[in-house]
Amino acid sequence: MLTDTPREPKTGARSGAERWRRELAGAVREPAELIRRLGLPEALREPAERAARLYPLRVPGPFIARMRPGDPEDPLLRQVLPVAAETAAVAGYGADPLAEQAQRTGSGVLEKYHGRSLVLAAGGCPVHCRYCFRRTFPAGDEGGWRSALAHLEAAGAPAEVILSGGDPLLLDDAAIAECLQRLGRLDGIRRVRIHTRMPVAIPARVTEALVRHLARAPLQAVAVVHANHPHEVDAEVTAALGRLRGACSAVLNQAVLLRGVNDDAATLAALSERLFEAEALPYYLHLLDPVSGAAHFDVDADTGLRLWTELAHRLPGYLLPRLVREAPGAAAKQVLTPSGP
Ligand SMILES: *Cc1c(COP(=O)(O)O)cnc(C)c1O
Ligand code: SF4
């Protein structure tokens, strides 16, 4: 394999940890740099810089390496490059589409659905997805998981605790280990679920130490990763998901249905196939949350259902994600199914 990154000494977890930290710290934050690296038209720069003032650009090297140089339409680039459309106000798109701010307990726990508490474990993400429903939220506090655990320890735990964020795998391995041990001691808990884009954004984050902590955790672990397009799952990501699979009871994927990225049945089918090769199963295909700045990604529910139906005709049931939408105040995510026979 050709690589332009320095070779790592093969000394296991230690060098792995250093590599993911370097890749995280080295994430591209300047539109001009992304444009230069990919040989993109200079005209993209000014609107990108303007949109990045509302929500900064952030994309790590391993993710950029999977983009096609010189292609402004690249489906991975589209997910991260700020564009002029983000700065337009669109009716129906707001700052907090899921009314989540009101549901946050002071301790960083979202208790929205029965039996599952979602912990805002870490502030920030390794990559800034332009369609993110949290793009307008103030960055969380990095130590949020400690107050969240204190809350669960005092108030009682549900069957499943979901570590989300931001991205919980921004925490270091020692913090993850402590978190898993403390969760395992809670009465009534059965599982921990980790919602993370890290194995896709920076696959080196799946270190030997992380895998060991997950495998030895005193409760079952489920990883839910996030890839939207088959090009996101390259050989390195496949290897990282394989390592995770060795330590977790399941590795699942959630994707967002995005116009210009994955809004055709062939791409969605290829994504499911790639995920399965990487030992991950498709879980959810989300309709876009109406967050301001993301309207240009919207695929309406009827189109979503038509694509999903086409997908259902192509794939075995276990490779078919559920098409869902989040409705503020609802007791569960709303699963969309075609009406009629
Ligand atoms: C999506 C979500 C969950 C998990 O829902 P599942 O349908 O179990 O995947 C839990 N809490 C919150 C706040 C969520 O948004
Ligand atoms: S990784 Fe998830 S939470 Fe983070 S910016 Fe992307 S969509 Fe949002």
Q: Which atom of ligand 2 is nearest to the CA of 125?
A: 4
Phi-psi region of 132 (alpha: psi -120 to 50; beta: other; left: phi over 0): beta
Q: Are 225 and 306 part of one and the same domain?
A: yes
For residues 292 and 94, is the Cβ–Cβ distance under 8 A?
yes
Q: Which amino acid is at 331?
A: A
Residue 95 belongs to some domain of the structure: no
- 9 CA → ligand 1 middle, Å: 40
Same domain, 141 and 259: yes
Say if residues 251 and 276 touch (Cβ distance below 8 Å): no
- DSSP state letter for 81: S
For residue 195, which atom of ligand 2 is closest to its CA? Answer: 2
How many domains is the chain built from? 2
User: What separation in angstroms does the CA of 63 have from each of 60, 227, 253, 283?
Assistant: 6, 11, 17, 22
* Pairing relationship of beta strands 109-113 and 116-120 according to DSSP bridges: antiparallel
| Ligand 2 atom 3, closest CA | 166
Shortest-distance ligand to the CA of residue 201: 2
Residue 124 has pLDDT above 50, yes or no: yes
- β strands within 208-313, DSSP E: 220-226, 250-256, 281-286
Same domain, 159 and 75: no
The overall average pLDDT reported for the chain is 91
Pair 36, 185 in one domain: no
Residues 309 and 194 in one domain: yes
pLDDT digits (tens, 9 = 90+) for 288-333: 999 999 999 999 999 999 999 999 999 999 999 999 999 888 899 9
Same domain, 121 and 228: yes
Q: Which helix (DSSP H) or strand (DSSP E) does residue 111 occupy?
A: strand 109-113
pLDDT band at 140 (very low <50, low <70, confident <90, very high): low
Q: Does ligand 2 have an atom closer than 6 angstroms to the CB of 226?
A: yes
Q: Say yes or no to pLDDT of 238 above 80.
A: yes
d(CA 183, CA 151): 12
Does residue 209 sit in the same domain as residue 66? Answer: no
Q: Is the dihedral of CA 10, 14, 19, 20 positive or negative?
A: positive
* Structural domain boundaries enclosing 141: 100-335
- The token duo for 265 is 């049945």
24 or 110, greater pLDDT? 24
Compute the distance between CA of residue 18 and CA of residue 245 in angstroms, rounded to an integer: 22
Domain end residue (candidates: 57, 87, 117): 87
* Greater pLDDT, 145 or 5: 145
Q: Quick check: 142 pLDDT over 80?
A: no
Q: Do 105 and 78 fall within a single domain?
A: no
The answer to whether residues 281 and 313 belong to one domain is yes
The residue behind tokens 């960083």 is 108
Query: Is 176 near ligand 2, meaning CB less than 6 Å away?
Result: no
Q: Which atom of ligand 1 is nearest to the CA of 162?
A: 10
Q: Is 151 in the pocket of ligand 2 (CB under 6 A)?
A: no
Mutate to test the pocket of ligand 2, among 127, 258, 286 (most ligand atoms within 8 A of CB): 127
174 and 60 together in one domain:
no
What the block records as the tokens of 209 is: 């130490």
Same-domain pairing of 231 and 165? yes
Judge if 282 and 150 occupy the same domain.
Answer: yes
Is residue 94, in this structure, part of any structural domain at all? no
Q: Lowest-pLDDT range, 118-122, 228-232, 243-247, 303-307?
A: 118-122
Confidence bin at 9 (pLDDT 50/70/90): very low
